[in-house]
Amino acid sequence: MSLSDRRAVAARERSGSLIVVGTGFLVAGQGTAEACVAMSGADRLLHLVSDTPTRLWIEGINPANESLEDAYGEGRVRTESYEEMVMRILGPVRDGLRVCAAFYGHPGVFVYPSHEAIRRARAEGYRARMLPGVSAEDCLFADLGLDPTLAGCRSYEATDFLVRNRPVDPTTALILWQVGAIGVSTYYRKNVWSTGGLAVLAERLVAHYAASHRVIAYTAATLPVCAPSIEEMALAELPDSELSVAATLYVPPAMAAEADPEAVGRLALERAATDAEGAC
């Protein structure tokens, strides 16, 4: 019997399961029907959300719920908190329960515990899957009126963008996540504002864009009565901006990309040939 066959047999023998869902950002408004069914039908519902109204909504969906927020500790390294979350999610799965883990936004975007819990659950023979949710990027596209297909789009975590010297293309849109926590690896309850990190980021960007290039610091709304935070500024003003860890920086293209004449010509020839075949 192959390894995959043995795992399939083990999965059938084990009753525990895991499903990971996202709640979006706008309280119950961005939770999908599929996610709500998973949360309400779970034997144990663990959750990590960003605001009190969403937490209260989740508690009303399923009384067998538990918040993972207390895994964070002031000054505690985030990786330690994430490992605790993974273990707390897997515990009831190993006990044979149907477990649902809910995270705000999309459960697969900037959520290490969700991916790692699914990976370990599957490796141990349990059924585990993830359902899609509304991400901060989805909200950004809608609130700023952007179509990422028009000029293309590059998306990076801000610290990773700097540390790994990610490529910059001024002809396409650039989205940088967690710009208010550049270089920060520990958890703080207060608003994180990494002025030193913002200065380093601005210096890197000015090498590719004019200092006067307009950028947008964006934060999605979490309550129906609130508007999203959309702060436009010149790139040179970025180091003096007070941005929270939830803020995302949108850098629009500075110029249009040039077309490749050879590719244009070849595509035109191929289209003409295709049209001719279709006419026969």
pLDDT digits (tens, 9 = 90+) for 240-262: 988 888 899 999 999 999 988 88
Q: What's the mean pLDDT in 141-150?
A: 95
Is residue 188 annotated as a catalytic residue, yes or no?
no
Q: Is the pLDDT of residue 13 over 70?
A: no
pLDDT digits (tens, 9 = 90+) for 187-218: 666 665 677 889 999 999 999 999 999 999 99
Name the residue ranges covered by the structural domains of the chain: 3-134, 137-251
**Distance from C-alpha of 20 to C-alpha of 30, rounded to nearest angstrom:** 15
Write the class of the CATH domain 137-251: alpha beta
3-134 CATH, one of 1.10.287.130, 3.90.550.10, 3.10.105.10, 3.40.1010.10: 3.40.1010.10
* In the chain, % of residues over pLDDT 90: 70
pTM of the predicted structure, to 2 decimals: 0.82
Catalytic residue among 44, 55, 72, 82: 82
Catalytic residue among 76, 78, 94, 127: 78
Q: What's the mean pLDDT in 221-245?
A: 90
Tokens coding 143: 């609130």
132, with CB counted inside 10 A (0-12, 13-18, 19+), is: middle
Q: Which residues contact 125 (CB under 8 A, 6 or more apart)?
A: 7, 10, 11, 13, 14
Supply the mean pLDDT for the chain: 89
**Distance from C-alpha of 215 to C-alpha of 231, rounded to nearest angstrom:** 8
Q: At residue 113, what is the residue type?
A: P
E strand segments, 57-148: 65-67, 98-103, 127-130
Residue tagged 């649902």 (tokens): 100
**Distance from C-alpha of 30 to C-alpha of 97, rounded to nearest angstrom:** 27
pLDDT band at 280 (very low <50, low <70, confident <90, very high): very low
Catalytic residue among 72, 98, 104, 126: 104
Residues 87 and 120 sit within 8 Å (Cβ to Cβ):
no
Specify the pLDDT at position 181. Answer: 85
* In the chain, % of residues over pLDDT 70: 87
Is residue 78 annotated as a catalytic residue, yes or no?
yes
Closest C-alpha among 114, 89, 104 to residue 54: 104
E strand segments, the chain: 17-22, 44-48, 65-67, 98-103, 127-130, 153-157, 173-177, 214-219, 229-234, 248-251
Specify the pLDDT at position 9. Answer: 53
Tokens coding 68: 């993972």
